Amino acid sequence: VSHQKQMLHRMEKGNSPQTALIPPDGGYGWVIILAYLFQMLFVGPIMPMFGLIFGSKFQEFETSPTEQTSIFALYLLTWNIITLFVGPLVQLRSERFVGICGTTLSITGLVVCAFSTSTLGMVLGYGLLVGAGMGLSNVNGILILSKYFKKKMGLAFGLFATGLGVGALALPQLIKFLLQNFSGKQTILIYAALCSIGYIGAILMRDVKPFMKQMTDEDFRLLEQKNNSNKDNADVNKKEISKRQRKKNCCEDFLIVRVFCMIKWKLLWDPFFVMVGIGNSMVYCAVLSYVSQLRTICSQKGLSVPQTADIISVMAFTEIFTRLFQGFLGDRACIRNAFRHSKKMMYTFMGIGASAALVGITFAFDFVSLAICVCVCSLFTSGVLINSPLIYSECFPDNLPSAIGLSNLFKAVIAILLGPTTGMLNTHFGSFNAALYFLAGANILCMGVWLVVECIHSMKTKT
């Protein structure tokens, strides 16, 4: 009773937020993790199996290495552009609606790939449709997790990524079995059917409001500090909302216009956001470029298709533990208190480590040495993949949907440049090692800029 009186007294004085309810940090949130996992269980692991599952199609169409990397680059481009509209669509419709759309696009894209008769069909199926489905499902899951978890966001995302790693461990072996017993076309169609589990995940997604819990004294103090630090931003946001309301016209009845109006475009004029977006996007796209070309790397080191599947399974097995560890580590109070933006700093160290690991892969010469290098690389790439979206929830909490969507514009541009570049380097030097050196160098450059800016800020703060 005394606790309730204290809360009411604070609320009457105007020193507390408008509502005493906060995200559950558990409860139905654990079901949401499972729902997100169902959405991504088969769609996400397509990236490391890109050359494995579509290898027969590429051989049939005599697709060049540059064309293959360009298809994957278009996939990343579509993925990142479509995410710009996920936040507004969730607000106008629901997470369930976006999840259903994402799964439908992914399945349709795989079916188009299965029946394609040229490289152009692969561009349409994988590059456009699967890319759009991946973009909708991925960001939709990130946004709904951020609504259900605050204190345990790192753990929640780590559990999801660990579950995804468990699936990725078995899927290469499943693809290897399917390719040995079915044609490439039949294998892709079977995989498309398995992706329908995403519909179960979409159905499980629910609005967070009925599951909000009562705020404790500790929660109140943390939120009060956050509100004080973001007071100016809140005032600016209120002014922008009132301006928009005054400028309403008949055009806003159209869905696409309403979506565009809900995006915080002014973030693109924020130097800090631009720096974070470019650096984050460069490292993230470099990791995905490396993962998508595992079949090419294995082939150039004399490994067969079954051995490539085993390498991918070894990588997935390692990621089961490294992803859970990364999520657990990111939520530690000692890490949060040591840095201004702990997730961003962890991402910096993981990006530098991934660059060193990519260089190490160039020295691998057989199955065992490559497996060891891939496992070491997975330790750092897990940190990159987990902390990449969490950086925006940490640095831009009030504009999270727009921050993720707009940052993906940087990913889209970088992806469309990286794909052909790595393909041409592979063709010119006759080895993907040159592309790995290029990716590692670009990562080091971006993370170096982050470190310099952070050091300058620390020096200014001390003085």
pLDDT (tens digit per residue) in 443-458:
999 999 999 988 888 8
Q: Which residue has the tokens 């993720």?
A: 404
DSSP-derived 3-state class of residue 22: strand
* Of 248 and 292, the one with more pLDDT: 292
How does the average pLDDT of the chain come out, rounded? 82
pLDDT at 382: 85
Provide the pLDDT for residue 233. Answer: 45
Number of Cβ within a 10 Å radius of residue 409: 16
The mean per-residue pLDDT over the stretch 43-67 comes to 86
**Residue 463: is its pLDDT beyond 80?**
no
In angstroms, the CA 87 to CA 259 distance is 9
What sign does the dihedral 52-54-56-60 (CA atoms) show? negative
Per-residue pLDDT averaged across 45-65, rounded? 86
Q: Work out the average pLDDT over 418-436.
A: 89
Residues in the chain: 463
pLDDT, residue 221, reads: 59
Distance between CA atoms of 102 and 429, rounded to whole angstroms? 38
Q: What is the pLDDT of residue 136?
A: 93
At residue 407, the pLDDT reads: 85
The predicted pLDDT at position 447 comes to: 92
The yes-or-no verdict on residue 5 having pLDDT over 70 is no
Q: Residue 216 corresponds to which amino acid?
A: T
User: What pLDDT does 327 receive?
Assistant: 65
Mean pLDDT lowest for which of 56-65, 93-102, 153-162, 278-287?
Answer: 153-162
What count of other Cβ atoms lies within 10 Å of the Cβ of residue 282? 22
Sign (positive or negative) of CA dihedral 219, 393, 263, 137: negative
| Residue 418 predicted with pLDDT over 80 | yes
Task: Out of 121-130, 154-163, 173-182, 242-251, pick the least confident.
Answer: 242-251
- Prediction pTM value: 0.69
Beta strands in 325-416 (DSSP E): none
* pLDDT tens-digit readout, 321-379: 877 777 667 666 677 677 778 888 889 999 999 999 999 999 998 899 999 999 999 88
Arithmetic mean of pLDDT, 415-440: 89
CA angle 185, 98, 109 (to 5 degrees): 15
| Rg, the chain, Cα only | 23
Minimum mean pLDDT among 22-26, 45-49, 97-101, 242-246: which range? 242-246
Specify the pLDDT at position 12: 43
**Whether residue 219 has pLDDT greater than 80:** no
Give the HSE-up count for residue 197: Cα atoms under 13 Å, Cβ half-sphere: 16
pLDDT at site 15: 47
> 223-268: per-residue pLDDT in tens?
555 455 444 444 444 454 455 444 445 455 555 566 667 777 888 8
Q: Report which secondary-structure segment, H or E, holds 267.
A: none
Residue 92 has pLDDT above 80, yes or no: yes
Percent of the chain with pLDDT over 90: 30
Residues 284 and 349 sit within 8 Å (Cβ to Cβ): no
Flag whether pLDDT at 143 surpasses 90: no
**Cα separation, 60 vs 239, whole angstroms:** 58
Mean local confidence (pLDDT), 270-281: 91
Q: How confident is the model at residue 292 (pLDDT cuts 50, 70, 90)?
A: confident
Spell out the alpha helix ranges (H) of 231-270: 231-246, 255-262
Dihedral sign (CA 267, 273, 279, 280): negative
pLDDT tens readout for residues 12-21: 444 444 456 7
CA dihedral 111→117→120→123, nearest 10 degrees, is 30
- Please tell me the least confidently modeled range out of 106-115, 134-143, 329-338, 378-387: 329-338
* Measured distance CA(77)–CA(356) in Å, rounded: 26
